[in-house]
């Protein structure tokens, strides 16, 4: 359950930002989570609720922007969609793929009150 560590990391970023903005409450947290990243969204939501309890972000809404995976296919010389790591190029079937998008794990913004 590394999602717990990730949730703690999120809370830390959120708390720091809230403090810098003299915010009493955090209403929402917006994340960008790539489809190819190390995150299981439901587990992260569960952990987020657990770690934010009693914090400035208690009860905050969690918005998750799931960015699709993309890779550069060497044989095709083209950028292609990639659903999962280990999948083949949808055009040529090759595995010579360099992941370019979808590994993001970011706190994009928070909404404070």
Partner 1 sequence: MCTTCGCGNGETRIEGANPGEHEHVHADGTVHRHTHDGDHTHEHGHEHRHADGTEHSHDHAHDDAHGHDEAHDHFHHHGHVHDGSVPHHHEHEHLHVMPDGSVVRHAHAHEGATDLHYGQGAAHAHAPGMSQAKMVQIEQDILAKNDRHARFNREFLAERGIFAVNLVSSPGSGKTTLLTESIERLKASIPVTVIEGDQQTTNDADRIRATGARALQINTGKGCHLDASMVERALERLQPDENSVLFIENVGNLVCPAAFDLGEAHKVVVLSVTEGEDKPLKYPDMFRAASLMLLNKVDLLPYVSFDVAKCIEYARRVNPSIEVMQVSATKGDGMDLWINWIRLHSVTTRHARDQHVAALKHRVAELEAKLAERH
**Cα–Cα dist 42/50, whole Å:** 13
Least gap, CB of 101 to partner 1 (angstroms): 10
Taking Cα atoms as reference points, which of 76, 79, 70 lies closest to residue 35? 70
Cβ neighbour number for residue 84 with a 10 Å cutoff: 9
Ranges within 12-51 binding partner 1 (CB under 8 A): 12-13, 17, 21, 23, 27-28, 30-31, 38
Lookup: tokens for 2:
């590394």
Rank residues 25 and 53 by Cβ distance to partner 1 and give the closer one.
Answer: 25
Cβ closest to partner 1, residue 53 vs residue 66: 66
Q: How many residues does the chain have?
A: 113
Beta carbons of 15 and 23 less than 8 angstroms apart: no
Judged by the rule CB under 8 A, the positions of this chain that interact with partner 1 are 1-2, 5-6, 9-10, 12-13, 17, 21, 23, 27-28, 30-31, 38, 61, 63-68, 81, 84-86, 88, 95-99, 105-113
């Amino acid at each position: 359950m590394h999602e717990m560590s990730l949730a703690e990391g999120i809370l830390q970023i959120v708390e720091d930002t809230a403090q810098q903005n003299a915010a009493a409450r955090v209403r929402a947290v917006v994340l960008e989570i790539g489809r190819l990243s190390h995150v299981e969204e439901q587990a992260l939501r569960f952990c987020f609720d657990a770690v934010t309890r009693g914090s400035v972000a208690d009860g905050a809404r969690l918005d998750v922007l799931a960015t699709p995976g993309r890779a550069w296919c060497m044989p095709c010389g083209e950028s292609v969609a990639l659903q999962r790591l280990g999948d083949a190029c949808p055009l040529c079937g090759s595995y010579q793929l360099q992941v370019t998008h979808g590994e993001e794990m970011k706190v994009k913004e928070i909404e404070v009150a």
